[in-house]
Amino acid sequence: MSGQRSDWREHLHANPSRMQQELAINLRESKALIRRSYVLLPELATILRKQDVELLVHTRELLDEILETLEVSSDPRTSKALKEGLRDMKSGRVRPYRDFVKELRSSHEL
């Protein structure tokens, strides 16, 4: 499975403009599908068990996360900033949040 995943990533990274186009298309299609789903929901009103409601809420949250991921992935500036942040983490150019807060408190900036 991981071999397939790396092949897929290599294919997308080989042609970044195509990747951005595909992500933009997928983002538009996903948003349209979700909008259509929300329009249909009132027409399908029925009595649901608690487990059904929890499943719907969980599904909605997952869809929102997918949309957010697609939006971030389709924005070149955000993608670049995330990659830069990951490189900073790997090279040790970051510090723990607690240390940062301590420094701010000691300098009376927080």
Give CA–CA dist 24/32, Å, rounded: 12
Both structure tokens of 39: 């329009």
Q: What's the whole-number average pLDDT of the chain?
A: 76
Three-state DSSP class for residue 43: helix
Task: Indicate yes or no: pTM above 0.85.
Answer: no
Find the mean pLDDT for residues 66-88: 88
Question: Residue 21: which of 73, 79, 65, 82 has the closest Cα?
Answer: 73
Q: Report H helices in the chain.
A: 2-14, 16-40, 50-74, 76-90, 97-106
Q: How many residues does the chain have?
A: 110
- Give me the residue spans of the domains in the chain: 2-106
User: What are the tens digits of pLDDT across the range 46-62?
Assistant: 667 788 888 888 999 99
The larger pLDDT score, comparing residue 1 to residue 28, is at 28
User: What are the tens digits of pLDDT across the range 81-106?
Assistant: 989 999 998 999 988 899 989 999 99
pLDDT of residue 87: 93
